[in-house]
Structure 1
Amino acid sequence: MYRFLLTPRWFGINVFVLLAIPFCIFMGSWQLSRFEDRMAASRDAKQQVAIDVREAARPLAELLPVDQATSGKQVTATGRYDKQLLVPGRQLDDREGFYVLTLLRTDGGKALPVVRGWLPGTASAAKAPAAPKGEVTVTGALQASETPGDNGVSAQGGLPAGQTSAISAASLINLVPYGVYDAWVTLNTADSGMKAVPATAPADSGLNLKAFQNLGYTGEWFVFAGFVVFMWFRLLRREVEFARDAALGIFPDDEEQDRERSEEKAPV
């Protein structure tokens, strides 16, 4: 009854199944390992942020450009505060508020965005304390430029003058006539009674959407493997039924003719 398994058609089906199942399992296991790597990276990033705060601050030039290795490191820079902006819609300790962002004009001519602190409530220039005058030296955690979607950052648009949604050179370069570093600093000790903004882990180092996409792909690949097994058994069962009917002298055409005769004889 199972001699049909030796036919070329079934040889091809069996080879496909034998290759497809290990491939699906391998891909599912790989996606699962990617999810586990991101979980481990999330834990390591949080631990590294705590370690970076205790490290000695280094000059800004030594830590640029910002990457996952330098993000969160303690940095020091000297210059004069210039233009001040507000960054609305930022939460701290489960409260809604805004950042006070001031551009530090360095000796090199470019400006370093400095988050001097956080204030609760609606963003208002009247609430934000003025920046210190004269030359200052700031110390804080170095952060990579934000993009829409990072840490809840929304797209730019519809904000009043003097406000920005993302702390990035791309957003700030249009607001000032000089160059802006593609990085920013959050002070360890906030100015003028504001609350200090803690450093955050680098982008793509935590449990973000990509991590859960890996978990979803894991499930999909294992489902594909199960579907291949299900279809193989379904085809096998169908072929066995055909073989059994053929052994009894019953063919699909005969069954169709018997069904048509029954329908003709049925009372209307």
Structure 2
Amino acid sequence: MFRVLFSSRMLAFHALVLLIVPSFIWLGFWQLSRWEDRQAAANLQEANIEAAPVPVDRLTGVGRDVDRADRWKSVEATGHYDADHELVVRNRDGSRGVGMYVLTPLVTDDGPALLVNRGWVPNPDTATAQPDVPPPPTGEVTVTGRIQFGETPENTGIRERDGLPDGQIMIIDVDAIAADLPYPVYGGFAELTAQDPPSDPAPERVAAPETNMGMNLSYAVQWWVFTVIAVIGWIILMRRELRDARTEEAEPKGGASAVLPERPADAPERAETRT
């Protein structure tokens, strides 16, 4: 009876189950590991955002980019804005749609400049026009901002474009920007969160990022549910094959075990006579 489980059809099904079950289990753990990575990154991001501000030279330096583990931490710097070398960064999101970021060097009292993303402004009416940018305050100013490492085509997926209007860029490539400035520049840049004295009007501040855990945990559970379904289906199929085999064995066979027909009731009896 159990030989039915080793038919060519069932062997193919066994092989399929033995292939997909470990694969589904592995895929579940892979998605779980991705969720754990996202969880760790989200915890680090939240902790960095909530950390107290530190002097900018604690987290970066001239010719040294910001460490990824320090991203989103708050830094402080004091100096004066250099509005003559201000840039705008195209295709950036704000609360009212796509616009531009305003990037202004802050020449610190210590000498190097810190690139400060002062916030978002709407796009101009045409692609070749300049946006309406509120000016930075004059004189000495103290800024607080979330530190970011420099942008590159590799970490943003954005490429620089030729032929842009003067003062417009696509990415905040700190090294490329620093090459055109007459003073040394700290690695990375800061997203402005506070400024003393404040300016009014001012660009719209860049919002703090939202924690995005993604769907990896749900995907992990789905793969493991698929694993259970595959195993249950395998067991049900084997039980059905065994049940059908028992039914076939229990059925009567033709031949010697066949029932003889009864003699008709009106058939004449034959009496044996002796002479």
TM class by shorter-chain length? 0.5 to 0.7
Going from structure 1 to structure 2, the CA distance change for 1:153 and 1:14 (only over 3 Å counts) comes to closer
Gaps of 5+ in 1: 242-268
**Which residue does the alignment assign to 2:254?**
none
Q: Is the 8 A contact 2:117 2:191 kept in 1?
A: yes
Does the 8 Å CA contact 2:48/2:70 hold for their aligned counterparts?
A: no
Q: Offset of 1:11 from its aligned partner?
A: 9.3
The match for 1:155 is: 159
AA in 2 matched with 1:75 = V
- Say which SS state the counterpart of residue 88 (structure 1) adopts: strand
TM-score by length of 1: 0.60
What residue number does 2:264 align with? none
1:182 aligns with 2:183: no
Structure 1 CA distance for aligned equivalents of residues 17 and 172 of structure 2:
52
Aligned position for 2:208: 200
102-111 vs 160-169, which deviates more?
A: 102-111
Structure 2's unaligned 5+ residue stretches are 245-275
SS in 2 for 1:181: strand
Query: Within 1, Cα distance between the matches of 2:54 and 2:6?
Result: 72
Q: Name the structure 2 match of 1:244.
A: none
SS in 1 for 2:148: strand
Return the structure number with greater helix share.
1
Q: Provide the residue aligned with 1:263 in structure 2.
A: none
Alignment of 1:1-268 (within 5 A): 1-3=1-3, 21-22=21-22, 24-32=24-32, 34-35=34-35, 38=38, 42=42, 45=45, 49=49, 51-52=50-51, 55=52, 57-64=53-60, 66-67=66-67, 69-82=69-82, 83-106=85-108, 110-122=112-124, 125=130, 127-148=132-153, 154-158=158-162, 159-176=164-181, 178-187=183-192, 188-189=194-195, 191-201=199-209, 206-207=211-212, 211-212=214-215
Equivalent AA in structure 1 for residue 56 of structure 2: L
The secondary structure found in structure 1 opposite 2:169 is coil
Larger radius of gyration: 2
Measured after TM superposition, the shift of residue 174 of structure 1 is 4.8
TM-score, normalised with respect to structure 2: 0.59
Supply the distance in 2 between the matched residues of 1:13 and 1:97 (Cα, whole angstroms): 57
RMSD: 4.9
Q: Aligned partners of 2:44 and 2:71: how far apart in 1?
A: 13
CA shift digits 1:192-245 (9 cap, x unpaired): 4113423534xxx9438xx4578668756865886798799999999xx9xxxx
Q: CA deviation at 1:185?
A: 1.3
Give the conservation status (yes or no) of the 8 Å contact 2:17–2:230. Answer: no
